[in-house]
A and B are shown apart, each in its own frame.
Chain A
Amino acid sequence: MVYLQYFCAFGQCFIGKLMYTDTEFLSATTTPFSYFPIVLQLIAALGFVGITMLATHFLGPKRKTSDKLINFESGIEQKGNARQPMAIKYFLTAILFVLFDVEVIFFYPYAVNFKDLGWDGFMAMLMFVAFFLCGFIYITKKGALKWED
């Protein structure tokens, strides 16, 4: 029942708001509408990319031969599928990135509020960095970052 109400409200708001995009919303930096220009730019970029892609598709000549459509392997005959498992190192790097990157995420709100938090916050962050370093040293020692072998 409540959802039905929500649905109606949704419908009303949808019609109302989208039609009525006011300058007030558009110029303020704190509302979702401050992203509106970004949407415009996205549309522009999409349009540019799409049109160019289409244009080149029709502009270029088309003389397809089977040899031409084979993957280039320095002139020797193609062997097997390219999509083989890669060295696990790359994968490990990716995973480590994910892990460390989210730790970096935590620095952002801290950095923005850093002056208000003062030394207490700094100490907490120091602890956090210590854990960060623990992980970092651990993976280093484990040889996760060794590419030489």
Chain B
Amino acid sequence: MNALISTALSGVVLMFVGLFVRNKQHIKFFAIAAVIIAFIANLAQYPSVELGGYVMYGMIEVTKFGVLFNAVALGATLLYFLLSGSEFEKVGEHVADYFALIFFILAGISLAASFSNLLMLFLAIEIMSIPQYILAGADKKNLKSNEASLKYFLMGAFSTGILLMGITLIYGAAGTFNITELGLGAESVHPLALCGIILMVFALSFKVSAVPFHFWTPDVYDGSPTVFTSFMSTVVKAGGFIAFLRMFHTSFAGGTISEHWTLILSIITAATLILGNFSAVFQQSVKRMLAYSSIAQAGFMLFAVIAMNNMGTQGVILYSAAYSIATIGVFAVLMKLKDYTFEGFNGLARKQPLLAVAVTIFLFSLAGIPITAGFFAKYFVLSAAIQHGHLLWLVILAVLCAAISVYYYFRVIIAMYFKQGDPGVENITGGFKAALILAIALVLVLGLFPNLLLCWL
């Protein structure tokens, strides 16, 4: 709740900061300060929910889980600001507005982490989505950015329509918007609700870009200004998952019907994994590769949703953290390069060893190699699926896909370390290096001691 209020207010404040502060550096500092305040405010709420969540007017339910997820999202955003905050200036004039939009997205995410009413789910998803449409098109003169924005907008609005129809049909069947009372996994479900659920699953899959509702993702991620792609494909995506997870775990679980939802979703997951990974293999641009990899990673996060158990909840937190930090890191380095293709990385290890090491560790984390956070993230979601009991085929598939993912992640490493080249690199400041080291440390610490994060749950 604190996170929601503080981020929303920060957004408004930053809008006004943009009016009165001309220096873009200062705006960045404002944003960083605001996100730190939000982070602290969010944590300050932890003691009050430690023994059990509380519900506000049947709309929002603040739980430990929600607070923790907000902490992860805010932390990742802080890292993002530290690493890429100065890239905002390159996109366009309205730096403060971009920051403000990001804060609004964060408000949406914190709502997504704690909704207990379908209305709030809808609002959360919209608050997350609409600023993204703008951010995607922030580079106004760039046709690719334009296209990304338009595509994202049309697809996003379309999926919103579908989501709403789903919600309405469910409401028609159940007579309530409260997710704890819906009971969609029960023994029998009203036919209206059946249609509603399917529409809803589709729409949410859309938002988290699960196959076959992913087709907008690569184009949008590729076309958007890189600095925003970085945020969209990480924190925001995690926010989508948290909404999905809450919905699924509260309303869809328990009961015989829930197996059918699990089946639908596991097919979606399988498709996501296969398509995401195989497409990523064939990309020439690292940015686009990361776009597809984000689809593939979405497949892994879907495990947490399907499994509907405690392990999955922990997994999605850890996965969000690991995936966000690592991807933000890779993007931060990518933005420092002139050439976004794999060749652009050739010989980076010679020229900028720290950057190369950082990218290597982040990619290790994405691939799920031990002692990086990504390993435990994958571990938890796979565990969740195995614990579920009926998803072993999916787990094996996921493992095969993880091996494929190594292929495209390591192409970057190979380019950096084993190939000759002279990559064009922008000036690297000390602050950037420090932030990068912080990110590396986070990845490694979470990789060694995931309980540092999970002990809060």
> What's the least CB distance linking A85 to chain B, in Å?
15
> What's the least CB distance linking A26 to chain B, in Å?
28
Q: Is B16 interfacial (CB 8 A cutoff)?
A: yes
> A138: which of B19, B191, B192 is its contact (CB, 8 Å)?
B19
> What's the least CB distance linking A1 to chain B, in Å?
8
> What's the least CB distance linking A91 to chain B, in Å?
14
Q: Is B12 interfacial (CB 8 A cutoff)?
A: yes
Q: Is B442 interfacial (CB 8 A cutoff)?
A: no
Query: CA of A58 to CA of B170 in the docked complex: distance in angstroms?
Result: 55
B165: chain A residues at CB < 8 Å are none
Cβ–Cβ contact B191 & A2, under 8 A:
yes
B191: chain A residues at CB < 8 Å are 1-3
Q: Mark B172-214, 1 if CB is under 8 A from A, else 0.
A: 0000000000000000000110000000000000000000000
Query: CA of A138 to CA of B15 in the docked complex: distance in angstroms?
Result: 7
Interface of B is mostly: helix
> What's the least CB distance linking B234 to chain A, in Å?
28
Number of A-B contacts (CB under 8 A): 15
Q: Mark B14-27, 1 if CB is under 8 A from A, else 0.
A: 01100100000000
Q: Mark A121-149, 1 if CB is under 8 A from B, else 0.
A: 00000000001001001100110000000
Query: CA of A1 to CA of B192 in the docked complex: distance in angstroms?
Result: 12
Q: Which residues between 1 and 32 of chain B lie within 8 Å of chain A, taking CB atoms?
A: 12, 15-16, 19
Query: CA of A25 to CA of B19 in the docked complex: distance in angstroms?
Result: 57
Cβ–Cβ contact A142 & B12, under 8 A:
no
Cβ–Cβ contact A141 & B12, under 8 A:
no
Cβ–Cβ contact A134 & B12, under 8 A:
yes
B12: chain A residues at CB < 8 Å are 131, 134
Q: Mark A1-18, 1 if CB is under 8 A from B, else 0.
A: 111000000000000000
Categorize the interface residue count of chain A. Answer: under 10
A137: chain B residues at CB < 8 Å are 16
> B19: which of A1, A3, A131, A141 is its contact (CB, 8 Å)?
A141
Q: Mark B148-167, 1 if CB is under 8 A from A, else 0.
A: 00000000000000000000
B16: chain A residues at CB < 8 Å are 134, 137-138, 141
| Chain A minimum-CB-distance residue to B97 | A142
| Chain A minimum-CB-distance residue to B195 | A3
Query: CA of A2 to CA of B188 in the docked complex: distance in angstroms?
Result: 14
| Chain A minimum-CB-distance residue to B94 | A142
A134: chain B residues at CB < 8 Å are 12, 15-16
| Chain B minimum-CB-distance residue to A140 | B19
> What's the least CB distance linking B34 to chain A, in Å?
16
| Chain B minimum-CB-distance residue to A130 | B12
> What's the least CB distance linking B169 to chain A, in Å?
12
Query: CA of A124 to CA of B15 in the docked complex: distance in angstroms?
Result: 23
| Chain B minimum-CB-distance residue to A138 | B15
| Chain A minimum-CB-distance residue to B19 | A141
A131: chain B residues at CB < 8 Å are 12
A138: chain B residues at CB < 8 Å are 15-16, 19
A142: chain B residues at CB < 8 Å are 19
B192: chain A residues at CB < 8 Å are 2
A2: chain B residues at CB < 8 Å are 191-192
> What's the least CB distance linking B172 to chain A, in Å?
12
A3: chain B residues at CB < 8 Å are 191
> What's the least CB distance linking B160 to chain A, in Å?
16
Query: CA of A127 to CA of B189 in the docked complex: distance in angstroms?
Result: 41
Query: CA of A1 to CA of B195 in the docked complex: distance in angstroms?
Result: 13
Query: CA of A138 to CA of B16 in the docked complex: distance in angstroms?
Result: 7
Query: CA of A133 to CA of B192 in the docked complex: distance in angstroms?
Result: 42
Query: CA of A141 to CA of B16 in the docked complex: distance in angstroms?
Result: 9
Q: Which residues between 54 and 76 of chain A lie within 8 Å of chain B, taking CB atoms?
A: none
> What's the least CB distance linking A69 to chain B, in Å?
37
Query: CA of A58 to CA of B376 in the docked complex: distance in angstroms?
Result: 82
| Chain A minimum-CB-distance residue to B15 | A138
Query: CA of A138 to CA of B97 in the docked complex: distance in angstroms?
Result: 11
Query: CA of A131 to CA of B15 in the docked complex: distance in angstroms?
Result: 13
**Which B residues fall within an 8 A CB radius of A?**
12, 15-16, 19, 191-192
Q: 6 closest A-B pairs (Cβ-Cβ)?
A: A2-B191, A141-B19, A138-B15, A134-B12, A138-B16, A142-B19
**Which A residues fall within an 8 A CB radius of B?**
1-3, 131, 134, 137-138, 141-142
Q: A3-B191, A138-B15, A141-B16 are in contact. List 8 more A-B contacts (CB 8 A).
A: A2-B192, A134-B12, A134-B15, A137-B16, A138-B16, A138-B19, A141-B19, A142-B19
15 contacts across the A-B interface (CB closer than 8 A): A1-B191, A2-B191, A2-B192, A3-B191, A131-B12, A134-B12, A134-B15, A134-B16, A137-B16, A138-B15, A138-B16, A138-B19, A141-B16, A141-B19, A142-B19
